[in-house]
Structure 1
């Protein structure tokens, strides 16, 4: 297993190319010789001869047990950064999960498990990865054998908690890897549900992400207590936290590539800039035709209509806004994570104006320009003028789009299934034979034909289209769901709480963090006289009892 130490600019001895933001009460940076012996031994097993910059900066905070949000680009050594400090904090004699790493995809779960197996090889610590799309048998067996480190997607972790095959009472460390992707994909409700099973005490919590859009920073406060922020970004002018990307596109393919980018990037919200009103109308119509929650902002709209559109996107009810420079000048959308340039601006200053719509108040953001050969030359001139570091982003393929959309859809469907009651599951089971026929082989052994597969694909697309119009930000309810979804989820939680209480012999609390604070959750029970009386069960609003915050796939 390698860590990109061959690049001299990646070493901890040369941090000059980074723009580094540290907490006010910053801790001294460390080198490999400064860390405990067990960490040096783990690095030696992995073949690491020195620490990466993010490791040199973050390890002191993690070893000290301080809650921290770390921002560093993908491939910079973040995985080793949060795994190494677990060594002195975890007890190999305790055969139960003491560290939980939540990740957005099964591929990342497997990758982290592999790296942990190398680093923890001689430390007596076992790691297990749990994720959707595979059976439960092997995962349950690994959990029974007593793994100290659990890596998993939120949905599958929650499934094991509901099945009572996982207990987090011994948990000491909680890690969110690629936090921006997890929250944008829509795992937030699952993570809040997992949070309810955490011990009623302080858990050392840290977040790692390449970017921290505003909505991620907002939600982080629900899982952490007064966290520190440590940021490493490439030095560039104007907004150091904004990454500037470009995608080579033929002029006639821009609309299709834009749609693919929206699927693979899955922005929390975005502005798509065009140079003309005609292109604004065209692009908005294309996005609406694909089912996206989009609208346009141009000089043709009345002031009242323009204010209404802006209010929609500020409140998270509108995801994509298509606009010209004139229409969008001066608008401030705090939750904006992405800016797309359907075509480069006609002057240098307009690029800075467009890029400045994201990365507001020090938050991270992404600017993606769609350019043909001639437009790329102009974009490079703009970048040279302002000393902006441009990076090429390959145009996503249809396979990339299918994988990204499918990943989100599986998470959505699994979450909905968990919210069904017994009768609803029985009702759904009636269609299993039909689903089997549509997806694979019918009862007479005939293979599914193309039309059957298209019928199934049509149903999945309908579910995907519905998800496109769900709010991307938690409202005052704080869970990112619609009012109808919150009601359904609340009923599901109450059913699960009732089942757990019955198993525990009527104990009113499930042992999670929910007993920390009372929240109204109505239920009914029979008294000795046979009459019904109302009672209110105790739930927390999340988090560990030591904290004052509201709280911490497939």
Structure 2
């Protein structure tokens, strides 16, 4: 079935009968107190006129099902894949709700990328033409003036990425005091890019009264469901999916490649998919060790589990899994049996299993407790034939996905890195911004080289270092609290335990621990404006030394550091 979408722009055709399409091709799960579906003819005049301006002759299934809930002001989570017409589903109900006479932001749509922000704004301009309702797109990577002018002119609909929306809120060029509707579009992608901290900061600027909130996402893995619970009150779930693959079930995908390209393909898939956590299955212990080394070399928080490991090493890996401090586990079938990784969204098969039953065992690790899951197999020509036999045997709907290219990876990693840099820049104080500004001329000189120098590559090296650091930090609501360490490589939990132990022994170490943490950061009271430490640091360090000339941090036992975190 060809996919028809209103996102194609004005004049795009639509199915003649949305209800028939729903019954024939789409599996729908509606809330217990479901509202009746609506047709184009049943919409208010203003909404029908808007459909006419866009060239829509009927409603798409997601619009027919979701519009009644949005028109009734009910919080709802809509599961619908990209390109299904969901943009119209949340824009059309705005027509009777937005007041063109009020020059303030009344609706906010948060999207993951600037491209989607521009696309939604364009569609909104078409739907809202001649109504007096003005949309404005705000996103990072560009200047502020045009966006500030649109906000100053009183745009009623704001479409933007969370980071840039937060920038405008902090600059006081945007206020959400009069907000009526909040929409999260493609929430799963926003979390993948790393916008969760920004979304929580935006939440602090929302009115204290209830704001009608809706969420649209292609999938609802655990971290997306957790996000919904933080922004919405008792939301209903409306799920649309193809009848062959239900949203709460597992997607079975495969990528074709040559045998020698599997390691690079796996890295590209991890970059573009960015799972909350995943298991990578291999058939042999040698491949487990090799894949783990590759992932650690690229900076991922990955570790292995195989029969070759000592018992103490296995227990250390299992402990990291239990604490949620390990993002990627590489293992054989035998080693992975009985292991439950929290929020496991993806399973990767570096090679298909040697028997059919093992495929079901591997795939069953994800998609648990009603959450969505994805299984991606990496196959060469012969392995593809074996995988297709497994799919026929178990009647699995197996779908080929295109292998991500270097450009795909660069775009995804670039978007994530830009989000990280914008967040860091917002946290700088005035003195730190002056310090950073000293290097602006050097940046310009490095990027203006005409002799083919290495200036751009040197800047890219610094960006890669920032990206590698972000790989070790959680970008999802559940977090990886035990992965973050202080300057000595100790976990926060271990530090708190030792502090409590020193309290019981009658020592005053906790009071001295605070200066130690201040010394570690730039711009702290222990540092000069340019980051140079005060002379008092060495004196305080000598005061903290105990017997044997060691500091408490050096004397205390430390947890084993995974290879991926070793600098």
Structures share a fold, TM > 0.5?
Answer: yes
Ranges in structure 1 where 5+ consecutive residues have no aligned partner: 486-554
Q: 2:354 & 2:483 partners in 1: Cα distance?
A: 41
What per-residue deviation string (whole Å, max 9, x for no partner) do you get for residues 421-449 of structure 1?
Answer: 111111111111111112x22xxxx5364
What per-residue deviation string (whole Å, max 9, x for no partner) do you get for residues 248-271 of structure 1?
Answer: 111110001111111111111111
Partner of 2:391: 383
1:471 aligned onto 2:479:
no
Instruction: Report the alpha carbon displacement of residue 149 of structure 1 after superposing the two structures with TM.
Output: 0.5
* 2:21 counterpart (14, 19, 28): 14
CA contact (8 A) 2:108 2:159 kept: yes
1:450 aligned onto 2:457:
no
Instruction: Report the alpha carbon displacement of residue 71 of structure 1 after superposing the two structures with TM.
Output: 0.9
Q: 1:51 & 1:20 partners in 2: Cα distance?
A: 16
Q: 1:12 to 1:46 in 2, by over 3 A?
A: farther
Q: 1:304 to 1:55 in 2, by over 3 A?
A: farther
Instruction: Report the alpha carbon displacement of residue 240 of structure 1 after superposing the two structures with TM.
Output: 4.8
Number of residue pairs the alignment of both structures matches: 479
Partner secondary structure for residue 75 of structure 1: coil
Partner of 1:222: 230
Instruction: Report the alpha carbon displacement of residue 481 of structure 1 after superposing the two structures with TM.
Output: 10
Instruction: Report the alpha carbon displacement of residue 11 of structure 1 after superposing the two structures with TM.
Output: 3.2
Larger mean CA deviation between 232-241 and 252-261 belongs to 232-241
What per-residue deviation string (whole Å, max 9, x for no partner) do you get for residues 447-492 of structure 1?
Answer: 36432222111111111110111124446899x995889xxxxxxx
1:93 aligned onto 2:101:
yes
Q: 2:455 & 2:17 partners in 1: Cα distance?
A: 52
Q: 1:339 & 1:81 partners in 2: Cα distance?
A: 32
CA contact (8 A) 1:273 1:339 kept: yes
Instruction: Report the alpha carbon displacement of residue 152 of structure 1 after superposing the two structures with TM.
Output: 0.4
What per-residue deviation string (whole Å, max 9, x for no partner) do you get for residues 514-544 of structure 1?
Answer: xxxxxxxxxxxxxxxxxxxxxxxxxxxxxxx
CA contact (8 A) 1:340 1:367 kept: yes
Instruction: Report the alpha carbon displacement of residue 128 of structure 1 after superposing the two structures with TM.
Output: 0.6
* 1:58 counterpart (62, 66, 81): 66
Partner secondary structure for residue 13 of structure 1: helix
* 2:182 counterpart (158, 164, 174): 174
CA contact (8 A) 2:111 2:162 kept: yes
Q: 1:299 & 1:236 partners in 2: Cα distance?
A: 38
Q: 2:128 & 2:108 partners in 1: Cα distance?
A: 15
Q: 1:301 to 1:107 in 2, by over 3 A?
A: same
Partner secondary structure for residue 190 of structure 1: helix
CA contact (8 A) 1:239 1:359 kept: no
Q: 1:276 to 1:405 in 2, by over 3 A?
A: same
* 1:424 counterpart (419, 432, 436): 432
Partner of 1:156: 164
Instruction: Report the alpha carbon displacement of residue 387 of structure 1 after superposing the two structures with TM.
Output: 2.5
CA contact (8 A) 1:273 1:322 kept: yes
1:257 aligned onto 2:265:
yes
Partner of 1:400: 408
Partner of 2:81: 73
Q: How does 1:250-329 map to 2 (within 5 A)?
A: 250-302=258-310, 305-329=313-337
Q: 1:30 & 1:481 partners in 2: Cα distance?
A: 49
* 1:103 counterpart (83, 97, 111): 111
Q: 2:193 & 2:158 partners in 1: Cα distance?
A: 21
RMSD: 2.4
Partner of 2:213: 205
Instruction: Report the alpha carbon displacement of residue 37 of structure 1 after superposing the two structures with TM.
Output: 2.3
Instruction: Report the alpha carbon displacement of residue 10 of structure 1 after superposing the two structures with TM.
Output: 8.9
Q: 2:26 & 2:483 partners in 1: Cα distance?
A: 38
CA contact (8 A) 1:294 1:321 kept: yes
Q: 1:50 to 1:334 in 2, by over 3 A?
A: farther
Q: 1:190 & 1:223 partners in 2: Cα distance?
A: 13
CA contact (8 A) 1:101 1:151 kept: yes
Q: 1:232 to 1:274 in 2, by over 3 A?
A: same
CA contact (8 A) 1:237 1:387 kept: no
Q: 1:476 to 1:276 in 2, by over 3 A?
A: closer
Larger mean CA deviation between 49-58 and 206-215 belongs to 49-58
Q: 1:63 to 1:311 in 2, by over 3 A?
A: farther
Q: 1:175 & 1:310 partners in 2: Cα distance?
A: 39
Q: 1:330 & 1:234 partners in 2: Cα distance?
A: 32
Instruction: Report the alpha carbon displacement of residue 70 of structure 1 after superposing the two structures with TM.
Output: 0.9
Q: 1:330 & 1:237 partners in 2: Cα distance?
A: 26
Q: 1:389 & 1:476 partners in 2: Cα distance?
A: 33
Q: 1:470 & 1:454 partners in 2: Cα distance?
A: 25
Instruction: Report the alpha carbon displacement of residue 347 of structure 1 after superposing the two structures with TM.
Output: 2.1
Partner of 2:555: none
Q: 1:8 & 1:187 partners in 2: Cα distance?
A: 35
TM-score by length of 1: 0.82
CA contact (8 A) 1:316 1:471 kept: no
Q: 2:115 & 2:142 partners in 1: Cα distance?
A: 13
Partner of 1:364: 372
Q: 1:263 & 1:10 partners in 2: Cα distance?
A: 40
Q: 2:483 & 2:64 partners in 1: Cα distance?
A: 39
Flag the structure with higher helix content: 2
CA contact (8 A) 1:9 1:15 kept: no
Q: 1:235 & 1:351 partners in 2: Cα distance?
A: 22
What per-residue deviation string (whole Å, max 9, x for no partner) do you get for residues 146-192 of structure 1?
Answer: 11100001111111111111111111000011101111221111111
Q: 2:338 & 2:218 partners in 1: Cα distance?
A: 27
* 1:189 counterpart (187, 194, 197): 197
Partner secondary structure for residue 85 of structure 1: helix
CA contact (8 A) 2:222 2:343 kept: yes
Partner secondary structure for residue 340 of structure 1: strand
